[in-house]
Amino acid sequence: MKLVILDRDGVINKDSVHSIKSPEEWVPIEGSLEAISLLNKNGYTVVVATNQSAIGKKLISNVTLDNIHKKMQDLLDKKKGKIDKIFYCPHVKEDGCACRKPKTGLMQKIKEHYSINLEKIPAIGDSTRDLEAYSKSEAQPILVRTGNGKDVEKKKSFPSNTLIFDNLLEASKFIIKME
């Protein structure tokens, strides 16, 4: 199975320090939907692993999150793309759960769901916590310079085997080329 793991906010859509609280606030980053479609067309299953603490903070409900994800899937459908499954952590940092990145609970769920070893599976994020979770799970961490990615790159606070690209489309083209 050819699998690619994506973070959501800052990778697929524009991020907000105030959280994405409605489908209207969910705005794709230029080229991100095309990138997912391109991966799909080349035989990749695309999944999302995302921290969604807005639920734990009571800023949004599970229903609102589902509506945000429906908008994302509907827009992807128009580009002939699809995210196979969305794995998310609804907790706040203080909950101490096992699923909030940089912990590896979401990665473990992906591993179990697809019965796959995550070793060298491309995993794309825009934050140190994404890259740490990917690296600890033996996936190939990839940093994009969208979202928080430029700050992370400047601080050099990421695993040493991290690959860096300007955006999801550039990273996706590289993944396909390296196949």
Give 131-153 pLDDT, tens digit per residue: 999 999 999 999 999 999 999 99
The per-residue pLDDT for 179 is 82
Predicted confidence at residue 80, as pLDDT, reads 98
Q: How far apart (Å, rounded) are the C-alpha atoms in residues 30 and 20?
A: 17
- Classified as helix, coil or strand, 178 is coil
Percent of the chain with pLDDT over 70: 100
Among residues 145, 111, 106, 143, the alpha carbon closest in space to that of 128 is found at: 143
Q: Is it the case that residue 95 has pLDDT exceeding 90?
A: yes
Asked whether 151 and 139 are in contact (CB, 8 A), the reply is: no
| Fold annotation for 3-177 | Rossmann fold (3.40.50)
Using the structure block, give the residue that is written with the tokens 């550039």: 170
- Is the pLDDT at 157 greater than 90? The verdict is no
Predicted confidence band of residue 13 (pLDDT cuts 50, 70, 90): very high
Whether 5 contacts 134, CB under 8 Å: yes
Whether pTM > 0.75 for this model: the answer is yes
What is the C-alpha to C-alpha distance for residues 166 and 149, in angstroms, rounded to an integer? 9
Q: Which of 9, 15, 126, 130 is catalytic?
A: 9
Structure confidence at residue 104 (pLDDT):
98
- Locate the domains of the chain by residue range: 3-177
Residue 151 among the catalytic residues: no
Residue of 7, 15, 126, 130 marked active site: 7
Is residue 95 annotated as part of the catalytic site, yes or no? no
The helix/strand/coil state of 3 is strand
Q: At how many degrees (to 10) do helices 128-136 and 105-114 cross?
A: 50
Whole-number pLDDT of residue 41: 98
Q: What is the pLDDT, as a whole number, of residue 11? A: 98
